[in-house]
Structure 1
Amino acid sequence: MSMHSAPGIRLLPNAITVLAMCAGLSAVQFALNGQLTGAIAAVAVAAVLDGLDGRIARMLDATSKMGAELDSLSDAMSFGVAPALTLYAWQLQDNRVGWVVSLIFAVCMVLRLARFNTLLDDAEQPPYAKEFFVGVPAPAAGLLGLLPIVLTAHFGYPGWWANQNVVMVWMVLVAALMVSRVPTLSLKTVKVPPRAAAPLLVLVALLAAGIIMFPLISLAIAMVIYLLHIPYAVYRHNWLAKHPEAWSAPPRERRAIRRRTQRRLGLRPPLRRSVAGAARRVRLPRRHSHPDGPRRSWRRLELRRSRNDGPRR
């Protein structure tokens, strides 16, 4: 029974990967027909399917070498070749430099995936490395590359963001982020404290409502927020590299280690704890205080007699 069911189980994740590749390449056909919204939706569907195939393969215990290679090939086509050809067919057809930039974008995506596959077999990485990607991952890079098209489809006209030079510079910047060593957070390993779970779920619901009602501008805002998180990811990566004691610690202990480090460096004032019901001592100013400072006592200087002193004889 299990021998007959094994091939079918292995086929499901690979079928999803092939569907993701077909969806990504369909973006080029939509761009050639001038359907910008369809091109964006095709790459977005490819990103969703790309996130599902690996998880389904692990749930069904159907991971294989062929599936990993097919997933890399699908990512290269869906998020490297497809966005590059989409941008070229949309705005760069009459520019020779535009074709060069499109090639750079696709080649950087392939190099990024090749490096990702080699890092999977690297046993010398520290434990905290699994919390980060090296560079911008493939689905995020593919959607970031299409940001000029997203803005044009939302506003209904090609603004300054659709200028050929702006589009080419943007593609080069995204390609550089793909092959860079800049750490970015891996959402699969992000953990939040229990008290923050409810607010984050509310934000997720608001994001889903925004995508349903205003899909294009919500996608653009999500991509901008993703770019803004990179400085925090760099800070967190550098902090973990300097604190080995926090590598295997749970989130609560990590926050405690970070607070102790900040106090040691003088970046955070120490917490003052008070006993419940205890009155705080308040220092009141002296009565008849002199504006220029504390007045000296005449008695202490022996220049004035005290009342108890009798008359001098």
Structure 2
Amino acid sequence: MITILALCSGLSAVKFALEDDLGVALAMVGAAAVLDMLDGRIARLLDATSKMGGELDSLADAISFGVAPALVLYVTLLDANSAGWIIALIYAVSIVLRLARFNTLTAETNRPGYTQEYFVGVPAPAGALIALLPIALYEEFGNGWWTSFAAVAAWTVFSAALIVSRIPTLAMKTVAVPPQAAAGLLVLVALAAALLVTYPLILLMVLDALYLLHIPFAVRSQRWVAARPQHWESKPSERRAERRATRSEGARRSVARLGLRRPGSR
């Protein structure tokens, strides 16, 4: 039921875009993304997972985050011409390819445990919200270079490239917050809630920027784990402790080496 609601929400974005209500169109895609995060968790919580549910989830994602955003961009900022249609097709196809690869990787049973902590490429909901960033800029700031056909086309292709890439990105369901950071996280959640009520488009821009900025960290983290098979089955918190210990040891060695170099020594 939640997956069907996500599908209806994402596809309704096209209706509101055709009616030139772009703010609501963005909200519909955002609601579909939230429902997509909830459906699997609730199904596992209620012990209601099924093969049909998994297939339905992929089909709904293809429409909500592939077809719907492509059509929204096409009828608004891609000028509804032939060149814009090609760009929209590139984006929609990238979402479908990404979902097909995700299903294939999920079916593999011999993958190391740490790979479940990373997505291969940008996931479909995040990719859709990144691709729709020019519409958020248009709604918030009006026309500008960010609404030109060239800029929107380039950004859409860039989003499609991130989606089909093999760049590792963090799976949010596996991110653990250290106890000492809980208070700061609650403050950020309160701030996000305030922005959602008062400046939702600004919040979308901030979230897009933060997501893009996290990618270098995810790449570095994944490479660190992949190069150390002894940590493949360790918990993320254990690996973070190991990395902190390694950095501290490296810092102590650097200080020790500097201490041996006295003024005037050769």
CA contact (8 A) 2:77 2:135 kept: no
CA distance in 2, matches of 1:200, 1:263: 26
Write the mapping of 1:13-162 to structure 2, written as runs, cut at 5 A: 15-155=1-141, 157-162=142-147
Cα distance in 1 for residues equivalent to 2:177 and 2:138: 36
Paired residue secondary structure (1:34): coil
2:222 alignment partner AA: H
Report 1 or 2 for greater relative contact order, CA contacts < 8 Å, sequence distance ≥ 6: 2
Alignment of 1:182-261 (within 5 A): 182-261=167-246
Letter in structure 2 aligned against 1:126? P
Q: Evaluate the alpha carbon distance shift between residue 17 and residue 146 of structure 1 in structure 2; reply closer, same or farther with a 3 A threshold.
A: same
Quote the RMSD (CA, aligned, Å). 1.8
Question: Among residues 235, 252, 258, which one is paired with 1:269 in the alignment?
Answer: 252
| Cα distance, 1:81 vs structure 2 | 0.3
Cα distance in structure 2, aligned partners of 1:206 and 1:259? 29
2:169 aligned counterpart, secondary structure: strand
Mapped partners of 1:69, 1:251: distance in 2: 30
With over 3 angstroms needed to count, the CA separation of the structure-2 counterparts of 1:208 and 1:260, relative to structure 1, is same
List alignment gaps of at least 5 residues for structure 2: 256-263
Aligned-pair CA distance for 1:247:
2.6
| 1:270 CA drift (Å) | 5.0
Q: Distance in 1 between matches of 2:245 and 2:201?
A: 43
Change beyond 3 A, Cα 1:250–1:72: closer
Unaligned runs of 5+ in 1: 1-14, 273-292, 294-313
Structure with larger Rg: 1
Q: CA deviation at 1:52?
A: 1.4
Structure 1 contact 111–179 (Cα < 8 Å) conserved: yes
Specify the SS of the correspondent of 1:133. Answer: strand
Deviation of 1:88 after TM superposition, in Å, equals 0.3
Contact 2:119 2:170 in 1 (8 A): yes
User: Please, what TM-score do these two structures have when normalized by structure 2?
Assistant: 0.91
Aligned residues: 256
- After TM superposition, the score normalised by the length of structure 1 is 0.78
